[in-house]
Structure 1
């Protein structure tokens, strides 16, 4: 009995540690916002996708697990931040570009990349973004960010990129 409790406590500690190591600063990202969507509520940051200092310009990629198109929990706040800006700026359009790593066939990867871009778009529409503001496309494995063949390279390429249209 005592070892079972210790084991469960250990799992809780590990889970809490992993949650604290999120690569996206969940508490600093901006929510769905109100008004013009040009300023962050708690940090005073300018929310402008064309300003290099803005979180909207700096954080535009949603990364996925191998062979998955489910938006990971750690990227949901990022999608909400972009959704808040888009809902407040209905004239702004984006393209969501789905990508995969080099493993798998061309047709499979094109379909997986499309499912990834569609998953991000679906989250955005559920957050109030109009469907006519969003275009989705898949590049499959044709536009890698990382050119190597390590697991880290593959992970860098499994993504959906949010691209703002001028």
Structure 2
């Protein structure tokens, strides 16, 4: 079996496995079975079509990870979500993720940027320990600058995920 066939097989298996999981009701309809590419399309198997790109990214939705006040230690309830994210990333070798660390408004700007960075870094380290290649995970800190809810500080103490495919990163799409 040559490399192209292996990549095609892995892509179909990955997309098929995701179609059965409906963790996010808003994207449950997005992950459907994709038809096998025609023989003429097999040479482009490593480069997903626009619809395949949307399906691959839809399967990578993730809930934010919430942290306690003044902490960058992952809470125990985050491990299940991070395990799911790591598995999805391992199944999609072209996918990359940016982890954004956020804080509430308590503390100085400098402190909050550093805390947001530590939160994002702890999520990254956990994903790396679960087998995701470190070069596929970038981190950024917004500190207190992008609150999720100004009336609920506990919702601002979080790490959020944004996913993209390698082709999009090279083309500057995301």
Do they superpose with TM above 0.5?
Answer: yes
**CA offset at residue 39 of structure 1?**
2.3
Structure 1 stretches of at least 4 aligned residues deviating more than 3 Å after TM superposition? none
Equivalent residue number for residue 159 of structure 1: 158
Specify every segment of 5 or more residues in structure 1 that has no aligned partner in the other structure, as ranges: 1-34
Whether 1:76 aligns to 2:79 is: yes
**CA offset at residue 81 of structure 1?**
0.3
For 1:106 and 1:164, locate their aligned partners in 2 and report how far apart those are by CA, in whole Å. Answer: 27
Whether 1:52 aligns to 2:27 is: yes
Equivalent residue number for residue 64 of structure 1: 67
Which deviations, in whole Å up to 9, do the C-alpha atoms of 1:38-86 show, x marking residues without a partner?
A: 525xx93158x9x7237742x4200000000011000111001000011
Query: Is this contact kept in 2: 1:99–1:138, CA < 8 A?
Result: yes
CA distance 1:38–1:71, shift in 2 (3 Å): farther
For 2:89 and 2:59, locate their aligned partners in 1 and report how far apart those are by CA, in whole Å. Answer: 14
Which deviations, in whole Å up to 9, do the C-alpha atoms of 1:110-159 show, x marking residues without a partner?
A: 000000000000000000000111010000000000012xxxx1100000
Aligned length: 123
Residues 5-154 of structure 1 mapped to structure 2, 5 A cutoff: 36=14, 38-39=16-17, 44-45=20-21, 52-53=27-28, 56-57=60-61, 59-148=62-151, 153-154=152-153
Query: Is this contact kept in 2: 1:37–1:85, CA < 8 A?
Result: no
**CA offset at residue 162 of structure 1?**
1.1
For 1:144 and 1:84, locate their aligned partners in 2 and report how far apart those are by CA, in whole Å. Answer: 29
**CA offset at residue 88 of structure 1?**
1.5
| TM-score when normalising by structure 2 | 0.64
Specify every segment of 5 or more residues in structure 2 that has no aligned partner in the other structure, as ranges: 1-12, 29-57, 166-174
| TM-score when normalising by structure 1 | 0.67
RMSD: 2.3
**CA offset at residue 36 of structure 1?**
2.1
